Chains A and B, each alone.
Chain A
């Protein structure tokens, strides 16, 4: 029994090492084709629409209600402590810009666009369309992966900026309607205490998240085996891994940015 458990653990480690090695080789290939291949603006734009524009509504709704609930909870807490809602704008803006905007947007994009990318590439893999690309003189990395990487890197930071604004706006509405804070006070609060570094703290994270989501989604797609069932399995794994990695990376990037004073 003990042997079985250790064997299983060893097997899992080997799988992990193989996946990390495979992902590293894929990233190397993406970097190679990014430099060598002709830039296909049309394909990047098509992917940017699929990944970014199509995720906008869900992202906007998520951040809007997150901003609202933040304002409500903080308003109630400060009311209980100080008998009036204090620094609501500042707290909502800090939370949205530094943490919730980038993290929630990345989770939404991983769940929506990441799943689409894995399913699409996975289906192409199991139906031999990837092999067909090779036979037609096209490297799949160049044709499929580079545009998707670029699309993730362009759209995720932009979506996060929108999410930040929408979240702060949601907080403002609750501040005005439920807590009786004039919008001028709410925004004055934000402009007084918020610095560009606070915005950059969240904004810079999104590039790491975008790169990670693109890598996980593409890697899982390319390594899909076993027909329709395999596509489903890869897609689920890609979403779960991406979401967990967003959380894990968030801590380490935050710690690194804090250490360098951003």
Chain B
């Protein structure tokens, strides 16, 4: 379980996260929505300490990642996480095989001889085959996202973080990524946190949705309850997203 207590993150002259508290339960798919620039990516980056929070606690199975000072303690907590970056963030100089096996090399004790088999399995899980020898530059945007997802799940993380997983994708690939996220949770039992401005996606796949605006979660609830919210920010975002409250 991840417990977030009074999380605060500021950038010079700007308060981005202003005292967020939340609990993300085992096995759930928790989505954070909000318009661009509201601090969703900042929030998710704080969870894995790619950004250092100014104050507050982030307890990952009881260990406070926000307070971890030692590089090795931090790496040990991060080991529980997989992270799907907005643009994939595949390593340009490495092949798909090397990219997907990267986490196996540095996060696990898996023998090198097992890498090709595991990589093949993970690629199959995201619907790809025979791409191991390709470099990221030879892949389409959708394929990059899927390879990136395969790379994230290869070391078998307990928690999966998705940063704007459908941004810049066509409707077909968006549908594919949506299915992959739900599959990861269903097949691997991974607790997932998705930050997105795609309200439709969030309401369709999540067990709970939180609306981030003004640095706070102004509404948190199950999708059905969320649709009925009377919060003005939620209502406005629903209208902008052309979604019915039913």
Contacts and interface: CB of A to CB of B under 8 A. Distances in A.
B186 interface: no
Interface residues of A, number: 14
Contact of B106 (A120, A127, A129, A136): A136
Contacts of B146: none
Interface string A132-161: 101111110000000000000000000000
Which of A120, A132, A134 has the most CB atoms of chain B within a 10 A radius of its CB?
A: A132
B89 interface: yes
Contacts of A136: 102-103, 106-107, 151, 155
Given A123-B92, A129-B92, A134 B87 contact: no
Contacts of B81: 135
B71 A131 contact: no
A137 B107 CA distance: 6
B103 A137 contact: yes
B10 interface: no
- State the majority secondary structure of interface residues on A: helix
Contacts of A229: none
Interface in B72-99: 75, 78-79, 81-83, 85-87, 89-93
A124 B87 CA distance: 12
B106 A132 contact: no
A59 to B, nearest CB: 24
Contact of A137 (B75, B89, B91, B152): B75
B223 to A, nearest CB: 28
A128 B106 contact: no
Contacts of A137: 75, 78-79, 103, 106-107, 155
B89 A132 contact: yes
Nearest to A120: B93
Given A123-B92, A129-B91, A135 B83 contact: yes
Contacts of A131: 45, 50, 83, 85, 89
B162 to A, nearest CB: 12
A123 B155 CA distance: 26
Given A128-B87, A129-B92, A136-B107, 20 more contacts: A123-B92, A127-B87, A127-B89, A127-B92, A129-B90, A131-B45, A131-B83, A134-B78, A135-B50, A135-B83, A135-B152, A136-B103, A136-B106, A136-B151, A136-B155, A137-B75, A137-B103, A137-B155, A138-B102, A138-B106
Interface of B: 45, 48, 50, 71, 75, 78-79, 81-83, 85-87, 89-93, 102-103, 106-107, 151-152, 155
Interface of A: 120, 123-124, 127-129, 131-132, 134-139
